[in-house]
Structure 1
Amino acid sequence: MMEFSPCELGDVRRTKRLVKAAAQVLVRPDGTTPEQAESWGDCKALYRLMDCDDISFQAITSPHYERTRQSGDAGSVRLILNDTTEIDYDSKRRARGLGPVGRNTGRGFFLHSALMRDPVTKQVIGLAGQEVQYRTKKKGAKNSRRRDPHREQAVWGRLIDQIGSPPPGATWLHVCDRGADDYEVFCRAYRQRCGWIVRACRLNRQVISPSGDRMTLKEHLTAQPVRGRQSLEVAATLKRSARTAQLELRFAPLALPRPRVINAWIRKHAPSEPLAMWVVELAEIDPPNDAEQVRRTLLTSQPVETVEQAQQIIDYYAQRWAIEEYHKALKTGCQVESRYYETAERLERITGLLAIVAVQLLRLRHLADEHPDHPAIEVVPAQWIKTITKVRQRPSPRAPKINATTMTLEEFDKHLGGLGGHLGRKCDGRPGWQTLWRGPEKLLLILRGCEILRTKCG
Structure 2
Amino acid sequence: MLCTRSVCLRRMAQGDWAAYMAYWRFVNNPQVTIDRLIEGWSRQTATVVAGRHVLAIQDTSEVKFQTRKGRRRGLGEVGKGNARGVLLHAMLAVDADSGACLGLTGGKVWTRRGKVKVPHDQRELADKESARWVTTAEQACDVLAAARMITVVNDREGEFFAHWALTPGDNVHLLTRAMHDHALADGSTLYQAVERARFCDKAMIDLPQRMDRRARQAQLSLRFGTAELKRPARPGVKGLPERVEVSFVEVVELYPPKGAEAVHWLLLTTHSIAKASDAWQIVSWYKQRWIIEQLFRSLKTQGLQIEDSQLESAQALIKLVAIATKAACIVIQLVQARNGGQQLPIECAFTPEEMKALAAINKTMKGRTKLQENPHPSETLAWAAWIIAKLGGWTGYASHRPPGPITFHNGMNRFQILVAGRALQTV
TM-score normalised according to structure 2 size: 0.79
Partner of 1:363: 333
Deviations 1:99-122 (A, max 9, x none): 112214322110000111221233
- Name the structure 1 match of 2:308: 338
Counterpart among 429, 434, 441 of residue 413 in structure 2: 441
Counterpart Cα distance in 2 of 1:112 and 1:448 = 33
Distance 1:308 1:369, change over 3 A: farther
Q: Between 242-251 and 411-420, report the one with greater CA deviation.
A: 411-420
CA contact (8 A) 1:110 1:132 kept: yes
Aligned to 1:129: 106
Question: How far has the Cα of 1:271 moved from its partner?
Answer: 1.0
Contact 2:67 2:73 in 1 (8 A): no
**What's the CA shift for 1:246?**
2.9
Distance in 1, Cα, partners of 2:115 & 2:422: 58
Q: Do structure 1's residue 196 and structure 2's residue 160 form an aligned pair?
A: no
Structure 2 vs 1, CA of residues 31 and 431 (structure 1 numbering), >3 Å: closer, same or farther? farther
**8 Å Cα contact 1:30-1:335 kept in structure 2:** yes
Q: For residues 354-433 of structure 1, what are the structure 2 equivalents within 5 Å?
A: 354-368=324-338, 371=341, 381-387=358-364, 403-406=372-375, 430-433=402-405
Equivalent of 2:131 in 127, 140, 154: 154
Alignment partner of 1:348 is 2:324: no
The answer for the alignment partner of 2:148 in structure 1 is 170
Deviation per residue, 1:215-250 (Å, 9 max, x gap): 332322222233311124668999999986432111
Alignment match of 1:311 (pick from 262, 280, 290): 280
Q: Partner of 1:3 in structure 2?
A: none
Describe the SS at the equivalent of 2:184. strand
Instruction: Give, in whole Å, the separation in 1 of the partners of 2:170 and 2:217.
Output: 41
Q: Distance in 2 between matches of 1:217 and 1:406?
A: 52
Instruction: Report the residue type matching 2:276 in the other structure.
Output: V
Deviation at 1:423, TM superposition (A): 10
Is contact 2:340–2:382 with CA below 8 Å preserved after alignment?
no
Give the AA of the match of 2:320.
I
CA distance in 1, matches of 2:132, 2:262: 30
Q: Which moved more, 1:215-224 or 1:339-348?
A: 215-224
- State the SS of the aligned residue for 1:248: strand
CA 1:169–1:230: 2 relative to 1, 3 Å: closer
Instruction: Report the secondary structure of 2:299's partner residue.
Output: helix
2:160 counterpart (175, 182, 192): 182
CA shift, 1:418, in A, is: 7.6
Tell me the matched-pair count: 410
Q: Which runs of 5+ in 1 are unaligned?
A: 1-24, 394-399
Classify 1:160/1:411 alpha carbon distance in 2 versus 1 (closer, same or farther; 3 Å): closer
Q: Distance in 2 between matches of 1:239 and 1:80?
A: 24
- Deviation sequence 1:286-342 (CA, Å, 0-9, x none): 446865432111100111112222122111111111111222232243332232222
Is residue 227 of structure 2 the alignment partner of residue 254 of structure 1?
yes
Q: Could you tell me how far 1:363 is from its partner in structure 2? A: 1.5
Counterparts in 2 of 1:293 and 1:194: CA distance versus 1, 3 Å: same
What SS does structure 1 have at the residue aligned with 2:188? strand
Q: Which whole-Å CA distance do the structure 2 matches of 1:447 and 1:289 have between them?
A: 53
Q: Which residue of 1 aligns with 2:271?
A: 302
Counterpart position of 1:220: 193
Cα gap change, 1:402 to 1:133, in 2 (>3 Å):
same
* Residue in structure 2 matched with residue 105 of structure 1 by the alignment: 82
1:362 Cα offset (Å)? 2.0
Paired amino acid for 1:330: L
**1:70–1:182 Cα change, 3 Å:** farther
Aligned 8 A contact 1:245 1:285 in 2: no
The answer to whether the Cα contact below 8 Å between 1:65 and 1:129 also exists between their aligned partners in 2 is yes
Cα contact 2:340–2:376 (8 A) shared by 1: no
Distance 1:241 1:352, change over 3 A: closer
Structure 2 letter corresponding to 1:355: T
**Distance across 2 between alignment mates of 1:99 and 1:293:** 36
Task: Give the number of the structure whose alpha-carbon radius of gyration is greater.
Answer: 1
Cα distance change of structure 1 residues 440 and 105 upon mapping to structure 2, 3 Å threshold? same
Amino acid at match of 1:114: M
Alignment partner of 1:267 out of 224, 238, 255: 238
- Partner of 2:167, secondary structure, is helix
Structure 1 residues 282 and 54, CA gap change in structure 2 (3 angstroms)? same
Mapped to 2, the partners of 1:40 and 1:450 lie a distance apart of 22
Instruction: List per-residue Cα deviations over 1:3-24 (Å, max 9, x = no partner).
Output: xxxxxxxxxxxxxxxxxxxxxx
RMSD: 4.1
> Cα 1:169–1:48, aligned 2, differ >3 Å: closer, same or farther?
closer
Contact 1:234 1:243 (8 Å CA) reproduced: yes
Percent identity (aligned)? 25
The residue matched to 1:81 in structure 2 has which SS? strand
Structure 2: stretches of 5+ with no match in the other structure: none
- 2:153/2:286 contact within 8 Å kept: yes
Following the alignment from structure 2 to structure 1, what is the Cα–Cα distance between the partners of residues 422 and 27?
33
Paired residues of 1:70 and 1:167 also in contact (CA < 8 A)? no
TM-score normalized with structure 1 length: 0.75
